[in-house]
Amino acid sequence: LREAAAMWQAVTDGVGAEQRDALWSHPDVLPTSEDIDAPHALVARLTQGEPEPDEVDQALEDLLSGSDAGRPVEDGQGRATEPGETPDDGPDDAPGTDPRPV
């Protein structure tokens, strides 16, 4: 019980009462027994902030928001085209010369 009280106080001192109370908002963010044993690690995790989004995060955000500006898109044949380019702008393939199986 003393360890839990020490964790409670350390989290309150480190991040404030509002963020401390947010720990109880969802089962995935509840403090674990390791957090009770090492409250400084919990405070460090809570204060590190939001990680910087990488290329995958940005691509996923663009996909989900419908904003695909600047990204290649596929035509009906499965070929990638650059933004603003139409499938007819690419090289002309003679019928039957596509190396992909049907």
Interval 67-102: pLDDT, tens: 656 666 666 666 666 665 655 555 555 666 767 776
- Dist. CA 17–CA 15, nearest whole Å: 7
pLDDT of 7 > 70? The answer is yes
Q: How confident is the model at residue 9 (pLDDT cuts 50, 70, 90)?
A: very high
Buried/exposed 26-50: b ≥16 CB within 10 Å, e otherwise: eeeeebeeebeeebeebbeebeeee
Cβ atoms of 10 and 43 closer than 8 Å: yes
Q: How confident is the model at residue 28 (pLDDT cuts 50, 70, 90)?
A: confident
